[in-house]
Amino acid sequence: MSAPLADLRIVAVEQFGAGPFGTLQLADLGAEVIKIEDPESGGDVSRSIPPYQDGEDSLFFETFNRGKKSVSLDLRGEDGRRVFEALVRRSDAVFSNLRGDGAQKLGLTYAALGEINPAIVCCSLSGYGNTGPRRAEGAYDHVIQGLAGWMSLTGGPDDPPMKSGLSLVDFAGGYVAALAIVAAVWRARRDGVGGDCDLSLFETALALLTYQGTWVASRGYEPQRLANSAHQSIVPFQAFATADGWLMVACAKEKFWVRLLEVLGRDDLAADPRFADFEARREHRELVQAELGAEFVKRPTDAWADALREAGIPAQPVNDVAAALSDPQALARKAIAEYEHETLGTVRLPASPLRVPGGPVPATRGPFRGEHTEEMLNEVRDRAPRPED
């Protein structure tokens, strides 16, 4: 069975996290991703990010660039531009993650490339998009988390503004870009005409506010930062301290609340009108937390987790990263990929979650800088249009 995107070719002017993560999703599904790296700047800056970095190879780079090709091209030079345009003629999309005005300055837009390939899709993922007062400003994940309101939601009531533990704006932006590229290429193949995708990390972050954004925009709701990672409206739905760690418990349905009281041996709480339904428990959040918290500290995490799972209640230990990667479910699903790298040795990393027919493709190492330059130059020479064409 062929990979789902085996007939898709992407030329990517990308670096660091958000952009490479987006095209990684396509590469994992079999797309040919040709990564353009500037010889003057040493290529993708993530090649030199520590720790676990040796020369131009790093585990950070491997995380986002496995299975891709690398071509060294100076897009500002005449020769580099000529090769780039030849690649565009034979590609489905040109992707970039630069500042909002960067794609236009480098000629990576449909206005610059549409005459070369009318069906080309030009996808730009920038901090703020190609319009608006911030379009030329640089942006990083944590900066966007602050601007988009995320840091006002994360952490406990008395904590300073706090970012997510992961670069979730970057990664969500990558997923948005991958979806946009696939949708735009589908349209281009159907209609014969490409165009521009103008995506931004800021709007991605705003979209991910989801129901809290809706509550605020529609009713002036004021979100609160709650202790122990508690849900804004559902109680109990949070982390509880146990005798030896922490446990995440999610009673998102009334039946889970009833079962939880049975497991805890607290049938007395079932008859208490202060805990009768979602709204009552939300109004008496602190009391619910106190009653349950006093029970959970009596036994170890694993004992509680086993008992709650047996009762059909969504509950799991709060793991560190090492424990998460070695969880029996991760091992059973082969969620950790592994390959050998000439410089870095054995590389083990989270595998693609895209379990679809024909994909994901087996993980292979990321490209050395410029590794596929000669291959692409030979293709350009072999398929160069004849003068009469």
Domains of the chain: residue spans and CATH: 9-208+336-382 (3.40.50.10540), 227-318 (3.30.1540.10)
Q: How confident is the model at residue 178 (pLDDT cuts 50, 70, 90)?
A: very high
| Residues marked as catalytic | 231
Question: What was the pLDDT predicted at 1?
Answer: 77
- Per-residue pLDDT, averaged over 331-345, amounts to 97
Residues 6+ apart with CB under 8 A from 353: 335
Q: DSSP per residue over 6-29, as a string?
A: TT-EEEEE--TTHHHHHHHHHHHT
E-state strands within the chain: 9-13, 32-37, 53-54, 57-58, 69-72, 93-96, 121-126, 195-200, 237-241, 246-250, 315-317, 336-341, 345-350
pLDDT of residue 385: 56
Residue 381: the pLDDT is 84
In tens, the pLDDT along 293-319 reads: 999 999 999 999 999 999 999 999 999
pLDDT in tens, 250-271: 999 999 999 999 999 999 999 9
Residue that is written with structure tokens 């992961």 in the block: 166
Residue with tokens 């390959």: 339
Confidence tier at 138 by pLDDT (50, 70, 90)? confident
pLDDT value of position 380 = 87
389 has pLDDT over 60: no
Please give the helix or strand (H or E) that residue 207 lies within, else none: helix 201-207
Q: Nearest to residue 234, comparing CAs of 283, 290, 294? A: 283
- In this predicted structure, what is the pLDDT of residue 299? 97
Q: Which of 40, 47, 39 is nearest to 64 (CA)?
A: 47
Q: What is the mean pLDDT of residues 126-133?
A: 95
pLDDT band at residue 108 under the 50/70/90 scheme:
very high
Alpha carbon distance 376, 71 (integer Å): 7
Burial category of 314 from C-beta neighbours within 10 Å (exposed 0-12, middle 13-18, buried 19 and up): middle
What pLDDT is stored for residue 382 in this prediction?
74
Tell whether the model's pLDDT for residue 374 goes beyond 50.
yes
Is the pLDDT at 50 greater than 90, yes or no?
A: yes
Separation in Å, CA 226 to CA 130, 169, 295, 359: 36, 22, 20, 40
Beta pairing partners, 122: 94, 196
pLDDT band at 387 (very low <50, low <70, confident <90, very high): very low
Q: Which two tokens stand for residue 262?
A: 């049975």
Question: What's the whole-number average pLDDT of the chain?
Answer: 95
Whether the per-residue pLDDT at 386 is higher than 90: the answer is: no
